[in-house]
Amino acid sequence: MRTARRYLAREIYRSCAVVLLALLGLFTFFALVDDLDNVGDKFSMLALLYMQALALPTRLYDLLPIGLLIGAILALAGLAQRNELVILRVSGVSGMRLLRMLWLITLPLMIGASLLSEFVTPAAEIKSGEASLMFRGKASGTRMDSGYWFKEPTRDGGTRIINIAKLLADGNVEGVTLYEFKPGLQLTTMSTAATGAFTRDKLVLKNVVETHIDDRAAQALADAKPPRTPPASVTKLPQRELDTTLSPERLLARVLTPERMSLNTLLDYIDYLHHNQLDAGRQVVALWRKVSYPFTLLVMITIAAPIGFMQTRRGGVGAKVFIGILLGVGFFMLNQLALNVGMLSRWPPWLTALGPNVGATLLALGALSLMEYRHATARFAQARWPWRRSPA
């Protein structure tokens, strides 16, 4: 069986490599054509090619499950067309045993997918974000027209809201605005700074303009009388050190899609959101999806097994590949639908992340069992069918 497993592994790895190269080339070509309109004096063709090269690990991360599905179906359909699967079945290898062999073959791919998900993709996304800031002056992510917004508690029990207009490639920031509130959400200070830099859990602001609001300002406005003291005072500072829970990594975590972060960064960002009493539901679901990502490859090979095994005598490679593409696209759409519906309906994060995988695995195992025991099932149904004709 070791020889058969090595042969199956070689065929599946080769088919998957060809499919992934084709998909990567196709999607990269489409992305290049789509971004050609942005090429100009500031954004050269070389910069476009550099950014597309940085996007390759992310595309591989997205395309690996469907590439494995199509590649496995191609390999199994080719083996079935050459009657090699029939030889294995005649030699006493059952369908479930073949499936276990396929699972063993998938283990190295799962290890590679884990390394890709944890190290390569986050690093490439960070480099891509820095390149986008350098060449285009903007970064993709959850950015509003007014910039990036953060909230954190202060040492006196109040609240601080930070607005950052622009992130720089070196981790520094531009256009910082601070709103500082006392307990009870009473605004006390509004500060603006031209630039900011992070050093040892501090945000060093340069060219700061602070507007201090007097505690009696609200009462003076309510009385509609001229106040005895100015309700606000303006102070200019060349520099101010601000104790903050923000860091360059957490700023980048805000820019990146949660699924593109490493586990350590994602856990740190979830802790930051919980500490500041912010909603972390999207990030928790992303954590579950990231943990379950390598097991998605097992789901794909399980789906490919019954498709590759069926109609072994008649071949039908094209039809099987078409069915595999439909199932892969359907599984991707089901995953996205489960994510959106789960977030709206407040489903448990583990159910939102694992539900499609578990459902697809059970359906594939059921289909394989029906194929494996179809003759026994047919005989059982004929024997138990209440309206079957009695022998004359």
Mean pLDDT across 254-267: 84
Q: Give the pTM.
A: 0.79
Handedness of CA 68, 72, 73, 78 (dihedral sign): positive
User: If you average pLDDT over residues 346-370, what whole number do you get?
Assistant: 88
pLDDT in tens, 261-292: 889 888 988 998 888 888 888 889 889 999 99
| pLDDT digits 0-9 by tens, 179-203 | 999 887 888 899 999 999 988 788 9
Here the contacts of 165-172 (C-beta below 8 Å, separation 24 or greater) are 166/137, 167/133, 167/139, 167/251, 167/252, 167/255, 168/133, 169/130, 169/131, 169/133, 169/134, 171/197, 171/198, 171/248, 171/251, 171/252, 172/196, 172/197, 172/198
What DSSP character marks residue 184?
A: T
The pLDDT value given to residue 201: 80
Say if CB 148 and CB 163 are below 8 A apart.
Answer: yes
Reported confidence tier of residue 120, pLDDT bands at 50, 70, 90: very high
Per-residue model confidence as pLDDT tens digits over 67-114 = 999 999 989 888 888 888 878 877 777 778 888 999 999 999 999 999
Amino acid at 98: L
Where do the domains of the chain lie? 1-137+280-384, 148-255
The lowest-confidence range among 48-52, 80-84, 137-141, 327-331 is 137-141
pLDDT for 301 equals 93
| Rounded Cα gap, residues 275 and 97, in angstroms | 49
Task: Round to whole Å and give the CA distance between 255 and 138.
Answer: 10
Q: Which two tokens stand for residue 83?
A: 């009657």
**pLDDT tens, residue by residue, 204-248:** 999 999 998 887 766 666 666 666 777 788 999 999 999 888 887
Are residues 83 and 312 in contact, defined by beta-carbon separation less than 8 angstroms?
Answer: yes
State the amino acid at position 194 in one-letter form.
Answer: A
Q: Which amino acid type is present at position 163?
A: N
